[in-house]
């Protein structure tokens, strides 16, 4: 029994020291390669990640209290590393659960090796399902492929304005100069920050 406990302890230490930081670094690098983000928000499943992190933090605190009571310094060391590994894992998962809307289009997957942005010009049509407190937008693009995006209900007006600029009236903005495009992007970002 003691042998299996040591294997578990060392395995979790390796995860906390090597795998979790590497996973966080990869997620961070994939996230920063998307420039010109108009706005972003987390998918609803991030709540489950936060609950898992809260359970891990509670477990780490209990292990620390037990270790302090019985003066076991190796358990304190183990618990601290598990806490750091849990935080890095949570951040890596939440990076992957971020919806990004850029000036070019909708990023369908942050972890794609090639640029997986669905361009505004490729979107043929869209429709909306209203499920309070979220809205589900389904965008149809290219050869009848679709992507679903859930947005918070309070962002509906700002998102509809973005859609009207990018999809419904694209001909007005096709021949913009780069500085005009930056001004338009700043206005859209300010509009989303006010909501």
Contacts with 112 (C-beta within 8 Å, 6 or more apart), sequence order: none
89 and 137 part of one domain:
no
Domain with residue 179: its CATH number is 2.30.29
* 112 and 91 within one domain: no
Instruction: Tell me, yes or no, whether 126 and 91 share the same domain.
Output: no
Distance separating alpha carbons of residues 104 and 162, to the nearest angstrom: 12
pLDDT of residue 5: 67
The total number of structural domains that make up the chain: 2
- What is the pTM (predicted TM-score) of this model? 0.70
Domain boundary pick from 82, 98, 114: 98
Domain around 75? 2-35+42-98
pLDDT at res. 102: 86
Question: Per residue in 104-138, pLDDT tens?
Answer: 888 887 777 777 888 888 888 888 888 878 889 99
Same-domain pairing of 92 and 167? no
Note the pLDDT of residue 3.
62
Tens of pLDDT, residues 19-75:
889 989 988 888 888 877 888 888 878 888 889 888 888 888 888 777 777 777 777
H/E stretch holding 26: helix 20-32
Q: 168 and 117, same structural domain? A: yes
């Amino acid at each position: 029994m003691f042998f299996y406990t040591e294997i578990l302890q060392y395995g979790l230490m390796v995860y906390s020291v090597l795998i979790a930081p590497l996973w966080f670094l990869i997620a961070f690098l994939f996230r920063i390669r998307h420039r010109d983000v108009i706005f972003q928000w987390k998918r609803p499943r991030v709540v489950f990640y936060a609950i898992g992190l809260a359970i891990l933090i509670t477990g780490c605190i209990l292990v620390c209290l037990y270790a302090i009571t019985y003066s076991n310094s190796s358990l304190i060391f183990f618990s601290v590393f598990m806490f750091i590994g849990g935080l890095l894992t949570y951040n890596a998962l939440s990076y992957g659960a971020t919806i990004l809307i850029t000036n070019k289009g909708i990023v369908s997957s942050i972890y794609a090796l090639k640029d997986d942005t669905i361009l505004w010009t490729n979107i043929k049509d869209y429709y909306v399902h209203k499920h309070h407190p979220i809205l589900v937008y389904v965008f149809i693009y290219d050869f009848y492929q679709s992507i679903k995006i859930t947005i918070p209900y309070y962002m509906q007006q700002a998102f509809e304005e973005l859609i009207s600029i990018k999809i419904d009236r694209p001909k007005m903005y096709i021949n913009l100069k780069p500085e005009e495009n930056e001004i338009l992007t700043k206005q859209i970002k300010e509009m989303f920050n006010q909501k």
